[in-house]
A = this chain, B = another copy of it.
Amino acid sequence: MEKLKVIKIGGHVIDDDDQLRSFLNAFSALPGAKILVHGGGKTASQMLEKLGVKPKMAGGRRITDAETLSVVQMVYAGLINKNITALLQAAGCPAAGLTGADADTIRAVKRPVRDIDYGFAGDITKVNTENIDILLKNGFIPVFCALTHDGSGQILNTNADTIAAELASALSERYETELVFCFEKKGVLLDVNDDESVIPHITEESCIKLKSEKKLKDGLLPKIDNAFQALQRGVQQVLITHISALSDSDDTGIQSGTRITIK
């Protein structure tokens, strides 16, 4: 089976032009099939504020009302996705910027209203692996922003980590897939105050132990739970690593960060 890397970059790197360019150059240089998924950075919040759209929150989570969706859609799909795509093209990477609506790649359902109405937030229902495979097989590099669609004409806001995990899981039926979360730390840290205390390898067994010892901090728990879900659905390996780690990769893969596998 051919190998595929699904790489997700988060907020901070997107807001820093130099870091972003350096990351995108490293991404371009990676051999083999690959997909990039990017978050929104601070620009969406700044644009919402500029346009006087007040953040609507419920239970600590942002609610995507129609007005918020328009702004998020403009920033994610228009500004950030196209800037990244143009920069990748400049680096020689045949990128194609996508939302889930483009080529019907990712469908979602508007999150059902129970206690809270999250508005235009989408829970993924289907990854169109056939269409994504056509793009990959023809040499295009898909670059996804955090937007999906419902198949009835509505764009939906969907968490970028979730998009990356769902893409990697679904595509593991066609590729030997690795899911890589790049962020501002060197990996999962044993001591949040010590940047060098990276846990090199987490398995299901060691994860239970780390959790019982309360050594996994809240911020990373959803990422780690996402990781194990993806592994259970066929992803070969999940890596949580620093955005600069891509530059240090060699033929055997990315060399630093926290490797997560089932066993």
Interface residues of chain A, those whose CB is within 8 Å of chain B, are 47, 50-51, 70, 73-79, 81-83, 85-87, 89-90, 94-99, 101-104, 131, 134, 138, 140, 147, 149, 151-155
Beta-carbon contact of A79 and B70 below 8 Å = yes
Task: Give the shortest distance, in Å, between A230 (CB) and chain B (any CB).
Answer: 26
* A85 CB contacts on chain B under 8 angstroms: 99, 101-102, 149
CB–CB A90/B151 < 8 A:
yes
Specify which chain B residues have a CB less than 8 angstroms from the CB of A98 in the assembled complex.
96
CB neighbours of A102 from chain B (8 A) = 82, 85, 95-97
User: Which chain B residues lie closer than 8 Å to A75 at the CB level?
Assistant: 74, 78
User: Are B147 and A138 in contact, with the CB atoms below 8 A?
Assistant: no
Between-chain CB contacts (< 8 Å), 22 pairs: A50-B51, A70-B79, A73-B82, A73-B83, A74-B75, A74-B79, A75-B78, A77-B82, A78-B79, A78-B81, A82-B155, A83-B153, A83-B155, A85-B102, A87-B153, A89-B149, A89-B151, A95-B103, A96-B103, A97-B102, A103-B140, A138-B138
